[in-house]
Amino acid sequence: MSDILIGLIPAFGWGMQGVVMQKLGGRTPNKQMGMVLTALVVAIAVFFIRPPATGSWTATLIIAACLNGAPWAVGQILQIRAFELMGVSRAMPISTGMQLLGATLVGVVFFHEWRHGWQFGLGVPALLLLIFGVWLTTYSEKSDGAVAGGGAAVLRQGFSILLLSSLGYVLYATSSLIFSVDPFDLLFPQSVVMVVTTLIISLVMSDKNQRRDSSVGIFGKKTWLNMVTGILFAAGNLAALLSIQRNGAAVGWTLAQMNVIISTVGGLVFLRERKSRKELFFVLGGLAFVAVGGILIGVTKN
């Protein structure tokens, strides 16, 4: 039971993360840089509170940190961009469904996390529910538009961004299983890689005027404000690393992705993202299918 409770911590932290960052505002690099700076501060604190064991700093640990931190940074910044294009309440169910599908398939195919017939009998229908749920959330009554959560062109662009984002997240979720490393030892080098990767991406995305802006520059006011978002991410990140090792990729990542409930409802309630009655019906219906599919995958734990 304690392992399951640990696995649910990211659901709250990551669920509120998207809502809070949209409330705080700023450019995409501000939102991400604020998050990773907080994650680095937390990692440094953990480093001194629980120093790595003698000999734990190996090439394996550094490679694991790179394969874990860099894909996350790419996946996260793409997800933030999708939030800005589509709105949290529409982008999050699609992102969640893709991540659940990808992480589960990797866990099952490469790490043999389903060993019994009943797990396949329950897991395969669950994956189909996920796919159907994601499809429902893509429904839009508008033929075109450029506003967040709007029409077909924006939806296609956002869907493509989320597909790439989810590939990064899946690698983040499963890379810790490739190497036998302590999640506490991984935390600091992982955070350093996240900061460096985010800085490189932010420099590419920004022009000279934006970098010098005291509000939305890479280290401007909005970045420091978004360190609040980083607190939510850091708590979820550490819990997710522990959960994936204790529960496995299929279950650990599934539990974490229940954040879709909090983030979707939060987008509708706190961010007041507009939906027609029919769009709301499809989004909430798709969310329900994603949640049920995720819960069924969780049941497949040995």
Q: pLDDT class for 1, splitting at 50, 70, 90? A: low
* Terminal alpha carbon distance of the chain: 13
Q: Which of 232, 182, 162, 207 is nearest to 14 (CA)?
A: 232
pLDDT given for residue 80 in this prediction: 93
How far is 157 from 177, CA to CA, in rounded Å? 32
Sequence-distant contacts of 267-271: CB under 8 A, at least 24 apart: 267/18, 267/19, 267/22, 267/87, 267/88, 267/89, 267/90, 267/92, 268/89, 270/19, 270/23, 271/19, 271/22, 271/23, 271/87, 271/88, 271/89
Average pLDDT over residues 99-124: 86
**Confidence check: pLDDT of 224 > 70:** yes
- Report which DSSP code applies to 273: -
- Is 252 in contact with 246 (CB distance < 8 Å)? yes
Tens digits of per-residue pLDDT, 43-56?
A: 999 899 988 877 77
pLDDT given for residue 181 in this prediction: 81
**Confidence check: pLDDT of 302 > 70:** no
Q: What angle do CA 81, 230, 62 make, to 5 degrees?
A: 90
How far is 204 from 210, CA to CA, in rounded Å? 11
Tens digits of per-residue pLDDT, 59-80?
A: 889 999 999 899 999 999 999 9
Q: pLDDT class for 273, splitting at 50, 70, 90? A: confident
How far is 166 from 163, CA to CA, in rounded Å? 5
pLDDT given for residue 265 in this prediction: 84
**Confidence check: pLDDT of 150 > 60:** no
Average pLDDT over residues 91-105: 86
